[in-house]
Amino acid sequence: MNRSIAEKITEVFQPRVPLWACELTPRHIILTGVTKNRRRVATKQAAGLQPGAVTGSLTDRNIQDVEAVRSNLKEMLSHVTFKGGEMVVIVPDDAARIAFLTAERLSKDPEEQQTFIRWKLKKTVPFDVDTAQLAFRVLGPHHTGAGVDLLVALSPRPVVEEYENLFASLNIHAGLVLPSTLAALNLFTVPAKDTLFLKIAPDCTTTTIFQNRRIQFYRRVAGLSPYDAVYPSVMYYQDKLGGKTLEQLTVCGYDSDIRSSLDELEEKLGLRAERLEPKSVDDIFKPTLGGVHLSNPEGLL
């Protein structure tokens, strides 16, 4: 499986990714473990959460009922063979800001690179950029040939600490914290053709566009049907990215509840929605499997 852009981003945080991942969503706690070679799912489990216990946000508390979430997570861990003290933590997309920047000249010094990114984003995000958790990846030359494109992921430090503290209370180190869509993209083998990746979650929909195997656009919206969420992204693809025809549509979140909405999307785009691999695993587990870098699966639960 090709290394995705999301996987490369994680290298900024840690060279060795834990074998276990936990995702907290507004509806569920999702727990997954893989074997040492990362090719087999050892454990996967999902449990419901009370509405409002977790709400992704850049400016407010994310974990509204810490004791309830902690109790549910502790009970889940007691039923699996969790070993070690480290875990990948997958957070709602709403808890992170994904941005694209272009630098005319990018310093080779990592500290200067981060200083430039924080300065560039200071007036565009509703939180303290100087203390935010930051990761970025150089994508390559800008399409005009002038400058270098960067993909940036950042989250307020207090938000990240909420999740870290939750797991620390169970003697687990949050070795890596990732937003849900970037985690799921670790399972995606990016094709050469122009592609739309759509992730549908209970609280929001994210659309990601790839051209020439490079991520070019990311957008998160809440409260809209898949087509209404995708339409502005398609317009941006055509008007700003110079795209002509999207040739592939890959969807994560494919279930009976969204089938009718996907019918409309497929008809208007003229594309058949493909499920994110591995298709033998329910989509609810795929962000956690991407978080632990499941690779070339040889067997699944």
123-150 residue pLDDT tens? 999 999 999 999 999 999 987 788 999 9
* Contacts made by residues 155-158, CB under 8 angstroms, sequence distance 24+: 155/58, 155/91, 155/95, 155/96, 155/97, 155/179, 156/58, 156/59, 156/127, 156/128, 156/131, 156/132, 157/128, 157/131, 157/132, 157/133
Interval 247-268 mean pLDDT: 84
User: 177 and 267 share a domain?
Assistant: no
* CATH number of the domain encompassing residue 84: 3.30.420.40
User: 83 and 168 share a domain?
Assistant: yes
Q: What is the SS3 assignment for 200?
A: strand
User: 69 and 111 share a domain?
Assistant: no
**Which amino acid belongs to residue 96?**
A
Check whether 253 has a pLDDT greater than 90. Answer: no
* CATH number of the domain encompassing residue 142: 3.30.1490
Instruction: Give residues with Cβ within 8 angstroms of 284, minimum separation 6.
Output: 28, 30, 46
In-domain check, residue 229: yes
User: 107 and 216 share a domain?
Assistant: no
Structural domain including 108 reads: 96-154
Kind and range of the H or E run holding 154: strand 148-155
Kind and range of the H or E run holding 198: strand 195-200
In-domain check, residue 77: yes
The total number of structural domains that make up the chain:
3
User: 136 and 200 share a domain?
Assistant: no
pLDDT class of 296 with cuts at 50, 70, 90: confident
User: 120 and 224 share a domain?
Assistant: no
In-domain check, residue 301: no
In-domain check, residue 197: yes
If you ran DSSP here, which 8-state letter would residue 243 be given? -
171-216 residue pLDDT tens? 999 999 999 999 999 999 999 999 999 999 877 899 999 999 999 9
Lowest mean pLDDT among 88-97, 113-122, 252-261: 252-261
Check whether 297 has a pLDDT greater than 50. Answer: yes
User: 75 and 52 share a domain?
Assistant: yes
Q: What is the SS3 assignment for 173?
A: strand
User: 85 and 108 share a domain?
Assistant: no
User: 229 and 269 share a domain?
Assistant: yes
User: 80 and 108 share a domain?
Assistant: no
Instruction: Dig out the tokens for 51 from the structure.
Output: 């509405």
In-domain check, residue 75: yes
Is the backbone of residue 58 left (phi > 0), alpha (psi -120 to 50) or beta? alpha
Please report the pLDDT score of residue 91 as a whole number: 97
Model confidence, pTM:
0.90
User: 12 and 77 share a domain?
Assistant: yes
Distance CA 229, CA 233 (A): 8
Distance CA 41, CA 39 (A): 7
Please report the pLDDT score of residue 10 as a whole number: 42
Distance CA 151, CA 153 (A): 7
As a whole number, the mean pLDDT across the chain is 90
Check whether 13 has a pLDDT greater than 70. Answer: no
Q: What does the CA dihedral 164, 167, 173, 179 come to, rounded to 10 degrees?
A: -50
Check whether 163 has a pLDDT greater than 50. Answer: yes
Please report the pLDDT score of residue 2 as a whole number: 42
Please report the pLDDT score of residue 299 as a whole number: 62
Lowest mean pLDDT among 81-90, 148-157, 229-238, 281-290: 81-90
In-domain check, residue 202: yes
